[in-house]
Structure 1
């Protein structure tokens, strides 16, 4: 079974201190129902039912072995980002979850790579936290795709991205805090239409906001869910950049010029969509992402890439392993079976 590096998974600790702060009610908390079942609560409202795979390294490793996954990037669940809270509270929450992430990944440090979260609403605090986390053992950082009305071309966010580039820290961007309302609060429409649109908008902000023109060296950034709808509308965006350059031409080049500046994960579920994604982005810009362990994720992990007939063996290996190595900035040497036990996976990834 081929080795796989999965850059898009999430964790939730089995418990944490009270996150509520002065004037900041409805903080997330965990309602444990059994040893293996829990519910993330926001105040008195159920947010998501989860199982112990969210925090139990042994359970994660068993699923990884079953799917041939050598390495997981283990990132925060976005509901805990806390961008709407005070910088002090968001910093406190980030430190709590980042330290707990290290504990969750500690049983298999060669296979479970924690990504941290930061108080992105405060640039200086975010830079300090990412420095602290990298020194403690985190392999990168996950950020949300916006902070209220501030998108990824916001000056403070760009400063943070420049800091990550200077440190050599990979950045994974996950959509969150989608708009609601009667038209979006049914059928999981926030997840089915809002998430792709949010990711599309955040990449567009980096392009038309000139972020890729300003942050030219060292930034390794990857977007979840196949880049949302962005790769499928590149022609429309280029056309608008050329025909309405008076309002769209804020970047030095048309949007398609910047496709080589970022990665996207493979989480599109359909071979036709994956074929278009690879053709648009390039075979070296797509990485495996599963959204494990959540129900809208892919199981078995990398199943779509493994069975897609348009990929040859070299292209498949790039997507399964080599592109993630480039994004993470480190090689993984293992090329054999993943069924080697919790510590038995031969890899040079710390």
Structure 2
């Protein structure tokens, strides 16, 4: 069984001046090259994230994959480039730029580096058209952010996009992004430590309590990054609220636990106790290895917690390491 990492990111070695290519102001991300191997994503004059060549260099990625025993990576955008707050025409231009660059990054190892695209999710028609273009060009699926401003995943436009992904067979990875900022959340990277799990929890609930899963075909393959956030721990609380206060809690046809077979989560929870909860809640068929590679908050060696978890039998471990991901990627993986 091959080991498949469904949650990794890329950043190109460079990209066109986005203000010139897409229009808009001077607050587009740009890359400061510090050396052949080191760079920094910048927003105006502020450092957003320091990165290394494992973000763009296929050879560096493959060396790390070999060291960790990973056969295949799903390579997805870094959310700072989503551009959902921009006019849709600008976000579409940016999506096309980065989607084409992603194909170049993955081209040296097409059987091992599998690109996912990004789309201008604020415009449903444009998002559907771009995912179609990218599937035809060689992408295997799409990564989306967990919300567009105040519109969560049960928004009609987003639901229509997810219905389209189900129709065309595009697997969807949902990644938290654009976390709230405050004096309390700006300490200790709490936006990442607290905000990301909360954002993901909220968006899983939106698909359930907003009735979206009741309107989206069961053929949709959708995975939430970062272990589904805090949702797996609190599904019992959500069920209790659905039963006790149906007048105010959601419009779903069934309680939240009914929908656990409608989505998957990755395994990047860093602790075998958390992984046990994840498997007990979601089922061994709904958890896939993810790492958040190559970022420093990611898991290395990739899949370490899954491999050492003594509560998993061999069959379940194989599902988590690759079997579930092969099913998630579907026909597109077979075609490779």
2:121 aligns to what SS in structure 1? Answer: coil
Describe how 1:113-128 pairs up with structure 2 within 5 A: 113-128=114-129
Q: TM-score, normalised by structure 2?
A: 0.98
State the partner residue of 2:4.
Answer: 5
Shift, 1:22, TM fit: 4.4
Counterpart-to-counterpart distance in 2, 1:265 and 1:108: 23
CA 1:257–1:193 in structure 2 vs 1: closer, same or farther (change >3 Å)?
same
Contact 1:10 1:291 in 2 (8 A): yes
Q: Distance in 2 between matches of 1:210 and 1:112?
A: 35
CA shift for structure 1 position 3: 3.1
Query: Residues 51 and 239 of structure 1: is their aligned pair in 2 closer, same or farther, counting only changes over 3 Å?
Result: same
Give the conservation status (yes or no) of the 8 Å contact 1:3–1:68.
Answer: no
Shift of 1:249: 4.2
Residue 98, structure 1, aligned to residue 99, structure 2:
yes
Instruction: Determine the C-alpha separation between the residues in 1 that align with 2:186 and 2:262.
Output: 34
In the aligned structure 2, how far is the partner of 1:126 from the partner of 1:233?
32
C-alpha contact (below 8 Å) 2:41/2:47 kept by paired residues: yes
1:291 aligns with 2:256: no
Q: Distance in 1 between matches of 2:332 and 2:38?
A: 36
CA contact (8 A) 2:163 2:217 kept: no
Aligned to 1:153: 154
Helix, strand or coil: the match of 2:5?
strand
Aligned to 1:237: 238
Distance in 1 between the 2:211 and 2:25 partners?
35
SS of residue in 1 equivalent to 2:116: strand
In 2, the alpha carbon distance for the partners of 1:107 and 1:69 equals 16
5+ unaligned residues in a row in structure 1: which ranges?
A: 333-347
Q: Could you give the per-residue CA deviations for residues 281-328 of structure 1, whole angstroms, max 9, x where no partner exists?
A: 000000000000000000000000000110011110000010001111
Aligned to 1:273: 274
**Would the aligned equivalents of 2:8 and 2:74 in 1 still touch at CA under 8 Å?**
yes
Question: Where does structure 1 differ by over 4 angstroms across 4 or more consecutive aligned residues?
Answer: none
Cα deviations across residues 251-276 of structure 1 (Å, max 9, x unaligned)?
A: 00000000000000001001111001
The structure-2 alpha-carbon separation of the partners of 1:268 and 1:13, relative to structure 1 and needing over 3 Å to count, comes to same
Question: If the length of structure 1 is used for normalisation, what is the TM-score?
Answer: 0.94
Say if 2:166 and 2:217, in contact at 8 Å, map to a contact too: no
Structure 2 matches for 1:1-350, cutoff 5 A? 3-20=2-19, 22-330=23-331, 348=334, 350=336
Distance 1:260 1:40 in 2: 37
Deviation larger for 138-147 or 23-32: 23-32
The answer to whether the Cα contact below 8 Å between 2:118 and 2:142 also exists between their aligned partners in 1 is yes
Distance 1:225 1:22 in 2: 33
State the distance in 2 between where 1:312 and 1:220 align: 25
* Cα pair 1:284 1:319 within 8 Å, conserved: yes
Cα distance between partner residues in 1 of 2:332 and 2:141: 15
* Structure possessing the higher relative contact order (Cα contacts under 8 Å, 6 or more residues apart): 1
Matched with 1:341 is none
- Deviation for aligned residue 1:349: 5.6
Tell me the SS of whatever aligns to 1:6.
strand
Residue pair 1:110, 1:349 contacting (<8 A) in 2 also: no
TM-superposition CA deviations, 1:184-236 (whole Å, max 9, x none): 00100000000000000000000011111001232100000000000000110
> What is the CA–CA distance in structure 2 between the aligned matches of 1:219 and 1:66, rounded to whole Å?
33
Partner of 1:337 in structure 2?
Answer: none
Task: Work out whether residues 286 and 319 of structure 1, in 8 Å CA contact, stay in contact via their aligned partners in 2.
Answer: yes
Computed over aligned residues only, the root mean square deviation of the Cα atoms, in angstroms, reads 1.1
CA separation in 2, counterparts of 1:204 and 1:222? Answer: 14
Tell me how far apart the structure 2 counterparts of residues 47 and 23 of structure 1 sit (CA, whole Å).
19
Residues 231 and 280 of structure 1 are in contact (CA less than 8 Å); yes or no, is this contact kept in structure 2?
A: yes
Aligned residues of 2:95 and 2:118 also touching (Cα < 8 A): yes
| 2:6 partner SS | strand
Gaps (5+ residues) in structure 2? Answer: none
